[in-house]
Amino acid sequence: MSVVIRLTRTGKKGERKFRVVVKEKRSRRDGTAIESLGWYEKDEATEKKEINKERYNYWVSKGAKPSSTVERLMS
């Protein structure tokens, strides 16, 4: 089982709201997740996020590979 940390889309049409989740690599973007690590929201003027860094580091230590977007959010 290959595990990745990536974004899933939530919210209404036209809104940019995402959850940062741990999922199997082959699952769909909006399919069931193993664990939710936080959220990310981007408006026209602002960018808000809240991610549990302890759980993120735990999953990375277990071999989960973050997507390029999630890596950018964590830096």
- SS3 string, 1-60, reads CCEEEEEEEECCCCCCEEEEEEEECCCCCCCCCCEEEEEEEECCCCEEEEECHHHHHHHH
Each residue of 61-75: pLDDT tens digit? 999 999 999 999 998
**CA-based R_g, the chain, Å:** 12
Q: Which CATH architecture fits 3-66?
A: 2-Layer Sandwich (3.30)
Q: What are 19-75's pLDDT values in tens digits?
A: 999 999 888 878 889 999 999 998 888 889 999 999 999 999 999 999 999 999 998
